Every structure is written in structure tokens, then in C-alpha cells.
Amino acid sequence: MTGMTALCVGLAGCASAGPDDVLKRAAEGRSEDGVIAVSAGTPRDDLAMQAARQRVERDLANLNAKPPADPSPVPGTEQITVVGMRSFAGNWRLVSPTALTAHYDSDATYEHVQAFICRFEQHAALLSGACLPSRKTIEGRVDGDRVTLDWSRGLASAGISARLLSPTTFRGTLSVGALGITVSTDIPAYGSKLGGSTDPQDSDPIASQVLQELARGDVTSDRFTVAALAHVRDTPPLPEADRRALGTPIDQAFLDRIEVPADDGSDRTMAVYALSFEQGVRLCGIVLDAARKVDGIDCS
């Protein structure tokens, strides 16, 4: 790659390497206040970030439009106000670039903006999450209305430092690192909490049926493309050991749809569900082709 070097920063991968050059820019004082100024690399990336910001703003507007709860206590009862740690646990949609490119002769750019669906568990202030696509894991921490999330890929690492704007939205910025060096950027990152829906009208009937069978350990071969069936048999999305540990399937909830990259560079739509079992929850995403056959499936 001539004249530039790329750093994998998002929850998915990128093809190029060389994160030390990106960090050298900051170390050599080519950043303002220790923060690398970064702009969108393509119109598509810019539009994706605008859409993420508008979604957060829309969620906030809807939340603020709700009438406040009646603060007056019910006669004969005691009113108690609980002040404590914010709850971050649950399913979230995160939007972040997956690559940062440092150009030797111009400003850095972020690229390949991707939405991820992540499920977070919270133990006191500590967070642990699993995401789709790409089965990435995230560690983090909640401190009041501040949230930090961190993940790594090989020698490269990245993180989000964010503020909770509401119990269901956050806005923050991305940091990147490698070889023990971490720098901040002004790349925005957004999060929206997903409630999930069990209404059949919100989910695809074929996807719903396939996921029900998957939770039981069944695979109906004629529902899959040849390539997807071979992949599922070779690398089961829910291995038998996991299903035994999770116990009996209970239900599934549709969470959201996200665009995921295909091998030919195009985008495919993945519908993501939360599958509930007696002993836990798993995220599963499913891609259908034009003939309504399963062309991709993954669980995290």
C-alpha cells in the first residue's frame, strides 16, 4: 500500500497492517492535544456515521417525549429513591469503523463503518460482551455515566470511551493502539440498546424456524445453500457441548438487522436474534439469499 498504512481498529478485521506508523503520527506531535483528527474515508462511511448519530438522536427524542412517571407516592407506601451504578447489561447495537488509515501526506481517515450487535453481561462495574458479526469479545467498565469498552485483534487494540446519554444510548470516541502504545482519536462511536421483539411480524418466518431447529440441534438441509450447509456441518454455530450447557430452549427475540460484508465486497443483510435457554442467552445472526435459503449463519 503506497503512501499510507492501515490499522485494524474495529470489531472486524482489515486486510492491511502496520499500526506503528499510525501511532508514530501521534508520537511525533502530528495530532492536536494528543488526539488524532480523523475524517471519513468514503461517502459511504460518512453516511453510515450520520445514520448512527441520527438513530441515537431519534432514540433520545422518543425517550424525552414520554410523559414523566407520576412522582407522588401511593398512599400508605414509602417512597424510596435508589442512586447507584448504571446498568449496561443487555443487547446493544454499536457502530464503529473497522479500519484507520494514516496517510503520510494528509490527514488520517477511518473506513469500513460497521454496525455490530453485542450482548453484555455486567458484574458490579465490569462488563463482558460477545458480538456479531465475527464473534468478537469485548471487555469494559461502567463508572457512573461513563463507559469504556476495549478489544484487540493480533497486535492491534482499540477501545471506545463514551458517555451514556440515557439508559439506552451512548456517544463516544475511538482509541487505537499497538505494541503497548495507545492514542485517542476524534472518530465517533455510537450505541443504542435493543429491546428485542417476540412478535412474529417483526421476524422472518424462515429465519425464525431455522433458529428454532438450530437451538434443538437440528439442521434441515433443504433450507440451506450448499456452501452454508457445508459450513454449518463443519463448524456448528451452536456446538453440542454448548447446547447441553445452555439447557432447554425457551424462546427467541428479534433484535435488529445489520449489513455484513460478503466475499465479493458487497453487503448482505443479517437478521440478529437473541436465543434464550434455561441457562443463558446466545446471539445468532442469519443471512438469506434471493431464493430465501440460508446463505450464512453464526452465533456468539
Which pLDDT does position 29 carry in this prediction?
45
pTM over 0.85: no
> Where along the chain do the CATH 3.10.450 domains lie?
200-299
Which pLDDT does position 187 carry in this prediction?
85
Which pLDDT does position 281 carry in this prediction?
94
CA proximity to 253, closest of 216, 282, 219, 233: 282
CA 54 to chain CA centroid, Å, is 17
**pLDDT by residue for the chain (300 residues), tens digit each?**
334 445 555 555 443 334 445 445 544 444 555 566 778 778 888 888 888 888 888 877 876 665 544 444 444 433 333 334 578 999 999 998 877 776 555 567 777 888 999 999 999 999 999 999 877 789 999 999 999 999 887 777 888 999 999 989 999 998 887 777 777 888 889 999 998 887 877 788 899 899 999 888 888 889 999 999 998 989 899 999 999 999 999 999 999 999 887 777 778 899 999 999 999 999 999 999 999 999 999 998
Which pLDDT does position 230 carry in this prediction?
92
> Where along the chain do the CATH 2.40.128.120 domains lie?
4-63+86-194
Q: How far apart are CA 93 and CA 185, in angstroms?
A: 21
CA proximity to 279, closest of 254, 253, 248, 300: 248
Residue with cell 482489515: 14
Query: Do the Cβ atoms of 45 and 112 come closer than 8 Å?
Result: yes
Q: How far apart are CA 144 and CA 252, in angstroms?
A: 31
Which pLDDT does position 135 carry in this prediction?
72
Specify the fold of 4-63+86-194: Lipocalin (2.40.128)
Which pLDDT does position 76 carry in this prediction?
40
Q: Residue 299's CB: how many other CB atoms inside 10 A? A: 21
Which pLDDT does position 137 carry in this prediction?
86
Amino acid in the structure at residue 271: A
CATH of region 200-299: 3.10.450
CA 21-17-25 angle, to 5 degrees, is 15
